[in-house]
Each structure stands twice: as structure tokens, then as C-alpha cells.
Structure 1
């Protein structure tokens, strides 16, 4: 490589100084030895400088893939839930706490679980074994759905894409023990191996349900044969990602005639659903199921249903069931080396079956009014700052600006928990049957989920539980959701100065709100109608911005991986949203605090950095580098800040320092 002229001049100057001493040599030597102005740690690598204390205190535990500040927040929320359940078990206050306390006590008492054996599913197996004729199969399927065990297919409530103010019932594919239908049809050696291991697991569960030893192998093959027939009529997983491809409303009135053996009209009545339409995006599958009910012998269906019940309930029964379930689903499929601690397993079960009950108590305990009010105030200000910035956007057309501002103007901000009324009337739970309580709670939750189907109630549900840390933009309902568990350090700490609250929580709010107006948000307008409100010019401008972000982040080295860089294309959308979040939160902060001094301004950026400290094993880093849409914590911190003139000013980072990009290289969403 040819030396740059400046480098040559410096080299020659040093040679002259050391080679030709004279009367003024000492003076010149002093000048030569003078050090260049020191670059502060913050201007070299803000992530490491700001998170030095966390990084020193948190080494990666042996065998762990990663640890991060946000993972610690998740773990803290889980510990809070466990403490709440312990208190409800010891001294319940009210009916809901009594239910939760008994549920918890029955789960952590492993001796009681062992004594209970398989008794919880005995009534379900008796119901299945009572099947005699073809016409008995469909009612048995409906009955299992009622207790939260979906068989043959899935059925759930979700938003109606033609009327976002309502939920409809979606009949969709399911009923398989292996999630990917391709496992049943591919012929490569690895797939055949997994299918063989699955066969062994089916045999174990069937044996535990009472199948005679000399019939287990044949009956397991019957299960796999039926599931293979379902898989053959199922769509590839890749086709299930687009919600529009899985939306096909049909009148309920015609279901009885179209699916006579499957009895879908009667199925809906059994679930308590009284609506005029449902979605069936894969009628070929349901035609196949209707045919299978007619053509396969009831005995084969009984075997399949017994296995599905045993498989679904195995984690909540005695040790032989749990061991079989973990050996296949935990170790073989998920790669786990050992089961989670018992308390974690029971907590997961309660969240699955009775999550909204636990949410009610968690919000009352862990969401102070001050935190709720402050979160709503900051989020509103960030929304307003983003709307003002859109007006200055040189890339968006006038019509896109108008739609984007209208959409933000219509945005709802929901903090803590969804606004909904649940009926907590539930069959009493005791402390002697964890599996029995699981079925009681699952039946209750299924009942409440089915109530969502209908008009004028779609917004009364969140896709995440309030006791689980989450901050999300809900596109169909144009709302920002911030769960109660999210409103604690490092995201929101009301004891910290305002700058820190904007730099952490506010920037995450801005990140999520950017999705209202980005490539995803463009598909739903301010009225909630599904349409693309961008012009071709808007699309082109966004793509150009995205390419600049791809190039910039693609130049960053990936932590823990020598000779690897961030995949700028894979992480583009998250990175653009981070830029939007920091910009809009900073604007909101400065508008609310115009006289903030340098120390206060620095607190804003330190709070942003405090969200992202992490440690990863080389294996986890390699996996995430190849497949994760999230940039590693170092660059989620440094990447946006290198583009902010306000950051350089706050920390007095001069041009040419690593954290200060040249003006022409900076990416700004809004000038």
C-alpha cells in the first residue's frame, strides 16, 4: 500500500529529529515527545466505558450462552412472581390469590405430584375410550379443545384483518407432535432419525396411558400414520409467516354441511363461540380431516387422542411422564442438558394456564402509580417529538407525512396491563393435584379467550402478559404496550434523573413507535385500514436510508468473534429503529428540559448504554451473528450514538475519535 502523504511527512520529520542534533535539539526533542491530546474512554468506546461496572461484576456463568442487563430484568420479574406466589400460598388475600396459592402449592409439592400419578388425565382417557362410532370422534375433539388441549387442528381468536375492531375465530393447522410438517415427509437421514426418536417417545407415552406392551409399537405407528396424513395436507412453515395468507373468512352457517363428520358448527357451540364468520385459510386440510374421521377406524383415532392428551399433560404428571417428555422434547429437540429447576417449571405452567390471574396480582404489587404516570408522560412526549420530526423529513412525500402524523395522533398508549374485565369464577383448586389444577386453569383460560371472539373487544387483549417484560407496538390496533414488568430498572427508574428516564425508556418507546411508520407500519393507515400509504418515491427513499445503515453497521466487528462483522442486512430494521428511538427520545428530553447541563445530558446517553451490556459465549455469538435480527449490545449502544452530534457535544468528542463519525457518514432519520 502506498503511504499517505501525511504519514510520509511525519516519518521524515521523526528521522530528521533523531539524526541531526544541534544546539536546538533538546527543545525540538521536547516538542517531538509531546503527547497528542488524550481521547477519553467515552469517545473511544462508549459501551465499554459506560458499562464498565456491569461488565466487571458479571462474568458469563459456566455453561450459560449469554447474560445481559435485559435478561437480568426478565429473571428479576420471574423472582417477583415466585415471591408473589409464595405469599399467596402462605396467606392468600382474596379469591384469586387463593386459586394461585393452591395452584403453586400443588406444583412445588413433588411428593404430592408423585402420589397423584396419572389421575388428572384419567377422566379424559375415559372420555376417549368411550368412543365407539365415527360420530363420537368430533365431540371428543371438541371436548379436548375446551380443556386447552388442541387436537387435530388449532382454533384461536385473533384480529379480523378486514375489521380491526373485532376478533374472529381462526381454524388453523396443528395436531402434530412434531411442529414442522416436513418432519413427516422428508426422507433425508437426519429427518428419519428424528422421526424414529419420536416413534420411541410415542411408545413411551402410550405405555404410560395403559396400552399393553405387546400393542405399543403398532399403536405408535397408528399415531404417526394419522399425523403424517395431517402433515401431508398442511402448509410449509414458511407460508405461515404472512398473516394475510392465513386469513380467509367463511360464513359459520355453511360449516355444518361442508364438514359433516368434523362437525365444525357444533365444535364452535362447544367452545361458546357465537359469531357469523370464522377464518379457514387451508380448506384442503379440513377436508382431509373430515375424510379421515370417516375413513379411519375409531380405534386409530382413540389411540391418537390418548397420545395427544398424554403428551400435552406429561410435564404436569408424575416423574416417569416428565422424564419421557424431557428426554425427547427437552434434550432431543431443544438441546437442553437438564430440566429447569422445579419452581421455574411450575411458574411456567401457571403462566401458561392462569397467566391473566397472576397478572392481576403482579400489577397490583409491582406497578406503582408514579411509574405508570411517568411512563405515560414520557411516551406521550416521545410520540409528539416523532410527529414533529416527521414534518421535517426530507424523504417522505406530503401525503405520507400527513398519514404518518395522523397515525401517531391516533396512537393509544397502554401502560401496565390491558383494559379488560375477566371473569375469575373458576372451579376451586386444591393442593393435592397439580395436573388437575392445570386442567382447571386451562379450561378457564380457554373460556376467557373464546369470549374475545366478536365485535368491539379486539383491543381488550395483549399478546404478552403484564408480568413479562415487554415494550411493543401493536400494529393492528395502533397502540404502544408497556408491561408492568418492563417499568423497572434498567428501563424505567423513577428515582433517577429525567435524562435517564428518557435515555432508556423513552428511547425504547421511540424504537417501537417507529414501526408505526416504517416498512411494516406503511401497510395499515391511520384509520386502521389495511392499505399501503407510501408512494414509490417514499419506498425508494426508505431503501436508500436502509442501505446506508446496512453499510455502516456491516463495518462493525462482531464481539467475541475474530474476523467477523455484524450482518448489516439482517439487522437493518432493528438498527434503523434504534436510530429513530434515540433521536426522538433526545428531542423529547430537550423539549421538556431545555436548560439541562452537560452532566444531565450525559445521563441520557449513559442510560441508553445501560440497556445493552451483555456477555456471550463464542458459540452463542456465532449463532446470533448468523441468524439474529438484533445487533450485539456493543453496537446497539455505540451505533446510534456515533451518528448523534448531541452525543459528541455532551462528551466533548472531537472529530476523528472513534465515537464521532464524520458529518458526511452520519445517518440521521430527521434533520
Structure 2
């Protein structure tokens, strides 16, 4: 019966597409028929219909765990970025200039002869410092010293905007110290977690042996290190709980913070890292107070030798990718091959590019946008943003489930949205970072120290509204709740997301969906708790809260029912914010497209209507192939649903999707009408 339905549907569908004269079919750039599988019934598997041939022709490359539209653009950017770095490396630029720093850092990252000769010796001074720890004061001092070098351990410290007073930057203390990607890998009793624990202990042991530790001692030490991290994991707040900003907001003054861990001499840590009483004039936020109460127990546990083993491991793990090949290979074998299913390491030049992006990202980005980004693109994207904001404004005014009081605040928040496109108006100043050609590890340490100092300098200062959280060459976008801003780097403004020569339907289904997604984050289950000024402040009426949560619960139930691999489903709670942003953002982009098409004669392109091309474009940007282990890891740790889910699941809540492809409510792909949500 299912096959009969599929044949009848496909005949009707094709007849509808090609019934008009071929003279009316216009060819422009955008959706490629070569990537689609037109033999697939879109009412049965829309993802394969839109991406089937692309999936067949794009197995995961051996040096990746996943491959998709994001990675395709990233790869296309790489040749330009590498040419910039190679030119900088031979340019003999004046000392202190960004170009000199880019060239020298790239040189040390590519200098495999020196890296192989040094082995792990650049870490010996850090090991010696850790070995000299005698008491708790020494211990908290070395923890602070390592934090300055970007070596995460035992707890997390950073500076950020106060969620309830976003005009202030305050110290933040969070849980931290794990090496495995999630607490459950330390605690869960499922077969995969048990296998990961065994392999992880073996990995630690192998890494210690490479530093000269005896085999038997290395295995004993590896077990001690694992057990130390397991104690931390037992006190960790779950990823789902952390998604609620109220759960991680515990504002307190300095004395209240110190009282959580009275056995820790915090003044020693503050002196080491550059904090003082003035740093706490606006208080501090402790994400997980319970974790800091446990930290007090750890300092009272007489585990000084275990602390040393653990801290040396965190140093070794933090720098493993920058050491000689035996360390790099073992690090790859566990974290990339075993955990993510990656078959081969990236070539040296690609690893080196990653070093630059993390250390001097905006310096490289400034040179990148000068060659790869046009003012015309920025103008077109700004126009699309305005249209999608207008669509949300109109939708809010029409909502029948939201009270006027909540609508008023929602509209106010929308009116204060800030938009950043392409690249920063003010570039980051790297003058205080000293880069030379001595050694890669030394340069990495200098870069990390620079970033730590830069972060510390923000405390007590006005918020830098010009700062970006991503490099211009990054293929991604983001929403900041405390700044109430959406940011679209130049890197993502390329096909299949955006093509200046494509029709509106393709661009609204691509980058328009991304724009709508980021705007939607301002009103997802977490973002909606922040007001127009970027403050964590509940502006929803109690009844609207209930109505919104009822809609959100339906989304959780839908996504939690989607089996992706083995018997593993999407974690509907962990991915709720991203799923809400997808559903709402896609619909807003569609409304904006419909408005742009008003009073225009609809054109068939490759036999598809603008509405159909919109939905095909949406599915196209989420095309993805992924290793089985990579998919299992994503389901466990990522707040985003897998691409195969994102490409279709949001559409199933949206009536115009069914109408565009004549999909009846009883079609195999259809979501029951009573389970669909319409948020905007």
C-alpha cells in the first residue's frame, strides 16, 4: 500500500512541476539537480529527495568525522587562507606587525624538524613546577598559573557579562576539569561508555609512557588520574540542566564565594591570576555552587600526589597536538579515531591553519575579508535581516496565544536587536602578543597568556560592543543573549547558504533560514528569558509561560522520538533551543520570502516553484555525512540535532511545506497535525 501511494504521489508531483511550458522555466544558480535524487518520493524521505545524490557522492573524507555544507565552504576557504599565510611567512614583515606574527606562528607550526627534535621537552618546566607542590597554597597557585596558559583543570574560571546586569563584566566560576567530552562517559553503565573508559585509561597510560614513565607505573597512574576525574564528574551539572540560564546563575559577593570552599586560599589564586578585591566590586557568578563545595573536600583529601598526577596529565593533554609525532599520533588515535571514527589525520598545513585561527584569528581574518568579501554582499544580507525581522514583527502582532503585555516586551526586544555582518568594525589589537620563530609550544603559551590577560582586562570595564565572538573566516553564525545581537561572519556568506546570483527562494531557504535561526535564539526556551537589554529577566506573563512551555514540550517529544543510529534517538531536551530556533527561524525566512514574492509572477526554475526551492534549499544547507562514532558522540554531547534531522524535522511542523509539495496529512513523512507546533 505504501509503495502504491508513493507511485501515485510521484506521478502527480512530477506532473505538477513540469505541466507548464518549458519556455517559462528559468535557469539560475542555486539548487543543483545533480545533488538531488528525484527518484525519491519527497513525501517519504525529503532529505534524500533534496540531497540523495550528494550523499552518494560525498562519503566522509578520511580526515573528518562529518562532511557537509559547512565543511565544504571551510575547505574552499582554506586555499586562500594558506596563500595568505605562506606569503606572510616569507614577507620579512616588520617586527610587531600582524603579518610578522602570522608568518612566524605559521613557520613554527610547520617546522616539523624542530618539533620532532624537541619531543615533549617544552613541557618540562611546567612538570617541574607541578612536582614542587607541597601544600594547598602551592596547589591553588599552580592551578592559577595553568589557567593563564589555557590549561583547563579542576574548575573553570573566566570573565563575562553578568547575566542579570549585562552592562557589567564580572568574574565567573564554573565546574571544570574533565577530559572526556561528557560526564556520562565517566559514570554511565552502558557498553559504549564502559568501552570508552577502558580505552581512555589505556590512552593516558600510553601518553605517560611516552614521557618516560615505566609501563607498570604508567597504568597505575592512569587509573589514579581517571578516578580523580570521575570524582569531578560525579559533581557535574548535566548539559540539559546547564541549558537553563537560571540554573547556572548564583550571584554572590567575594566572602560568600570564599565560604563555599574555606579550605582553598583563594587570595593565592587571585594574586596569581591578577584578580583583587576590586575585581569583585560587582560580585561574581558561580555556575555550580555544589561543585565548589566539593572542591573544598578535594583540598582536604590529602591527595596531593594524585593532584600532581592529574595536573601533569592536563598539561600533557592540553599540548599533545603540538608535540612530536608519537604524542600527536596517540592523541589522534583516541580522541579522533576511536571517539569520532576519523580514519586519517589532517595534513600538517591544515593543522597549522587551525593553530592560526585559534591564536591570531582576527589578524588572519582581516587579510581574508580584504580578498574575499564584498560590500554588496553585506548590503544584501542586511536587507534580508530587515525583512526577516519584519516577518517576526508581523507574526508577533498576529499571535493568538500571546498576551499583549508579553507581545509588547517581545517587540521591544526585537527592535533592539543588533546585527553584525562580515567582519568587525574595530579589529582586535594583537600588539601585546609576542610571537617569534623559537618554538611552537612557546608561541601557543604566549597566545594563551595574551587571551587570558585580554579577558582579565574586561573585568570592571564597559562592555566592548564592537567585539566579535567568531573570526570573519568562520563558517558559522551566532546569537548573543547578553548583547542581544546576531552575528554572521563573512565565511558563511557563500553557496549553498548565500549566492548573490541565485533567486530569492534559494537565499531565503539558505542564509535566510540561518538568519531566522539566530533571531529565533532570542526567543527560544533559554533566549526568551533575556530582555531587550540583554538581562536575565523574566518578561513573560505566567499564562504565556505555560503556553510556550506546552509548545516546547511538543517539540521535545517529537525530536526525542527520532531514532538516528542503533536504538539511539535525538535528546529532545538537550537540543530544544536549537530545534526551536530551526522551526521558528525557517518559518520566519519563509514568511519573508512570501512577502518578497508578492505581486511578482512566480517562476519555475528547474521545474520547481519558489516555495519548493525554498524548502529544498533549507534541506541542502543541512546535508551531511557522518561516521557512526561521530554521530554517537554528537547525540551525547551536541546541543544541535544531526543534519539529517535538521534538514527535515522543522519542516514537518510547517503547513506551507506540505502545501508546496502536495503532501497529505497521512503521508509517511507527515507529522500528525495535533503534534505540530506553530510558534511564530
TM-score, normalised via structure 2 length:
0.77
- Confirm or deny: 8 A CA contact 1:273 1:451 kept in the other structure: no
Selected match of 2:171 from 166, 169, 172: 169
Q: Please state how far the C-alpha of 1:647 moved relative to its aligned partner.
A: 4.7
- Confirm or deny: 8 A CA contact 1:273 1:453 kept in the other structure: no
Identify unmatched segments of 5+ residues in structure 2: 2-11, 19-37
| Alpha-carbon displacement from aligned partner over 1:415-466 (angstroms, at most 9, x marks no partner) | 2245666331245333452222221212222222333333531655554443
| Residue of structure 1 equivalent to 2:498 | 492
Equivalent-residue separation in structure 2 for 1:625 and 1:234 (angstroms): 19
| Residue of structure 1 equivalent to 2:462 | 456
- Confirm or deny: 8 A CA contact 2:260 2:296 kept in the other structure: no
| Residue of structure 2 equivalent to 1:629 | 641
2:350 is the alignment partner of 1:344:
yes
| Residue of structure 2 equivalent to 1:39 | 16
- Confirm or deny: 8 A CA contact 2:421 2:489 kept in the other structure: yes
Equivalent-residue separation in structure 1 for 2:269 and 2:328 (angstroms): 31
Equivalent-residue separation in structure 1 for 2:528 and 2:611 (angstroms): 30
| Alpha-carbon displacement from aligned partner over 1:51-92 (angstroms, at most 9, x marks no partner) | 589749934357787643344224334454334333332437
2:383 is the alignment partner of 1:362:
no
| Residue of structure 2 equivalent to 1:6 | none
Identify unmatched segments of 5+ residues in structure 1: 2-34
- Confirm or deny: 8 A CA contact 2:65 2:340 kept in the other structure: no
Local SS of the residue matching 1:155: strand
Quick one: structure 1 residues 240 and 585, their matched pair in 2 at CA, closer, same or farther if it must change by over 3 Å? closer
| Residue of structure 1 equivalent to 2:100 | 98
| Residue of structure 1 equivalent to 2:24 | none
Equivalent-residue separation in structure 2 for 1:260 and 1:344 (angstroms): 46
2:72 is the alignment partner of 1:72:
yes
Once the two structures are superposed, the pairs formed by residues 128-207 of structure 1 within 5 Å of their partners are 128-181=130-183, 194-207=196-209
| Alpha-carbon displacement from aligned partner over 1:385-437 (angstroms, at most 9, x marks no partner) | 32122212222222222122111111111222456663312453334522222
Equivalent-residue separation in structure 2 for 1:515 and 1:62 (angstroms): 32
Q: Please state how far the C-alpha of 1:96 moved relative to its aligned partner.
A: 1.6
Selected match of 2:128 from 110, 126, 136: 126
Equivalent-residue separation in structure 1 for 2:173 and 2:306 (angstroms): 23
For structure 1, which segment, 613-622 or 524-533, has the greater mean C-alpha deviation from structure 2 after superposition?
A: 613-622
Equivalent-residue separation in structure 1 for 2:295 and 2:564 (angstroms): 50
2:319 is the alignment partner of 1:313:
yes
| Residue of structure 1 equivalent to 2:507 | 501
Local SS of the residue matching 2:641: coil
Local SS of the residue matching 1:123: helix
Q: Please state how far the C-alpha of 1:310 moved relative to its aligned partner.
A: 1.4
| Residue of structure 2 equivalent to 1:29 | none
For structure 1, which segment, 616-625 or 117-126, has the greater mean C-alpha deviation from structure 2 after superposition?
A: 616-625
| Residue of structure 1 equivalent to 2:88 | 88
Selected match of 1:526 from 528, 532, 536: 532
2:465 is the alignment partner of 1:466:
no
- Confirm or deny: 8 A CA contact 1:259 1:287 kept in the other structure: yes
| Residue of structure 2 equivalent to 1:271 | 273
| Residue of structure 2 equivalent to 1:584 | 588
- Confirm or deny: 8 A CA contact 1:524 1:531 kept in the other structure: yes
Quick one: structure 1 residues 44 and 543, their matched pair in 2 at CA, closer, same or farther if it must change by over 3 Å? farther
Q: Please state how far the C-alpha of 1:114 moved relative to its aligned partner.
A: 0.5
For structure 1, which segment, 630-639 or 490-499, has the greater mean C-alpha deviation from structure 2 after superposition?
A: 630-639
- Confirm or deny: 8 A CA contact 1:570 1:629 kept in the other structure: no
- Confirm or deny: 8 A CA contact 1:157 1:169 kept in the other structure: yes
Q: Please state how far the C-alpha of 1:155 moved relative to its aligned partner.
A: 1.0
Equivalent-residue separation in structure 1 for 2:555 and 2:159 (angstroms): 38
Local SS of the residue matching 1:40: helix
2:64 is the alignment partner of 1:60:
no
Q: Please state how far the C-alpha of 1:480 moved relative to its aligned partner.
A: 1.5
For structure 1, which segment, 111-120 or 585-594, has the greater mean C-alpha deviation from structure 2 after superposition?
A: 585-594
Quick one: structure 1 residues 484 and 270, their matched pair in 2 at CA, closer, same or farther if it must change by over 3 Å? farther
For structure 1, which segment, 377-386 or 498-507, has the greater mean C-alpha deviation from structure 2 after superposition?
A: 498-507
Equivalent-residue separation in structure 1 for 2:244 and 2:450 (angstroms): 30
Equivalent-residue separation in structure 2 for 1:184 and 1:560 (angstroms): 22
Equivalent-residue separation in structure 1 for 2:630 and 2:203 (angstroms): 33
Equivalent-residue separation in structure 1 for 2:119 and 2:630 (angstroms): 42
Equivalent-residue separation in structure 1 for 2:183 and 2:470 (angstroms): 27
Once the two structures are superposed, the pairs formed by residues 424-463 of structure 1 within 5 Å of their partners are 424-457=430-463, 459-463=465-469
Quick one: structure 1 residues 570 and 596, their matched pair in 2 at CA, closer, same or farther if it must change by over 3 Å? farther
Q: Which of structures 1 and 2 has the bigger CA Rg?
A: 1
Equivalent-residue separation in structure 2 for 1:455 and 1:376 (angstroms): 30
- Confirm or deny: 8 A CA contact 1:262 1:290 kept in the other structure: yes
Equivalent-residue separation in structure 2 for 1:568 and 1:129 (angstroms): 45
RMSD of equivalent CA atoms: 4.8
Quick one: structure 1 residues 438 and 640, their matched pair in 2 at CA, closer, same or farther if it must change by over 3 Å? same
2:403 is the alignment partner of 1:397:
yes
For structure 1, which segment, 174-183 or 239-248, has the greater mean C-alpha deviation from structure 2 after superposition?
A: 174-183
Q: Please state how far the C-alpha of 1:481 moved relative to its aligned partner.
A: 1.6
For structure 1, which segment, 636-645 or 323-332, has the greater mean C-alpha deviation from structure 2 after superposition?
A: 636-645
Equivalent-residue separation in structure 1 for 2:584 and 2:339 (angstroms): 38
- Confirm or deny: 8 A CA contact 1:66 1:616 kept in the other structure: yes
Local SS of the residue matching 1:38: helix
Equivalent-residue separation in structure 2 for 1:211 and 1:564 (angstroms): 40
Equivalent-residue separation in structure 1 for 2:231 and 2:446 (angstroms): 32
Q: Please state how far the C-alpha of 1:291 moved relative to its aligned partner.
A: 5.2
Equivalent-residue separation in structure 2 for 1:298 and 1:621 (angstroms): 37
Quick one: structure 1 residues 436 and 533, their matched pair in 2 at CA, closer, same or farther if it must change by over 3 Å? same
Selected match of 1:511 from 513, 517, 522: 517
| Alpha-carbon displacement from aligned partner over 1:113-137 (angstroms, at most 9, x marks no partner) | 1022223223222333444555332
| Residue of structure 1 equivalent to 2:21 | none
Once the two structures are superposed, the pairs formed by residues 536-575 of structure 1 within 5 Å of their partners are 537-539=543-545, 542=548
Quick one: structure 1 residues 189 and 279, their matched pair in 2 at CA, closer, same or farther if it must change by over 3 Å? same
2:378 is the alignment partner of 1:376:
no
Q: Please state how far the C-alpha of 1:318 moved relative to its aligned partner.
A: 0.7
| Residue of structure 2 equivalent to 1:113 | 115
Equivalent-residue separation in structure 2 for 1:320 and 1:58 (angstroms): 34
Q: Please state how far the C-alpha of 1:541 moved relative to its aligned partner.
A: 5.0
Equivalent-residue separation in structure 2 for 1:244 and 1:543 (angstroms): 16
Q: Please state how far the C-alpha of 1:205 moved relative to its aligned partner.
A: 3.2
| Residue of structure 2 equivalent to 1:596 | 600
2:619 is the alignment partner of 1:612:
yes
Local SS of the residue matching 1:310: helix
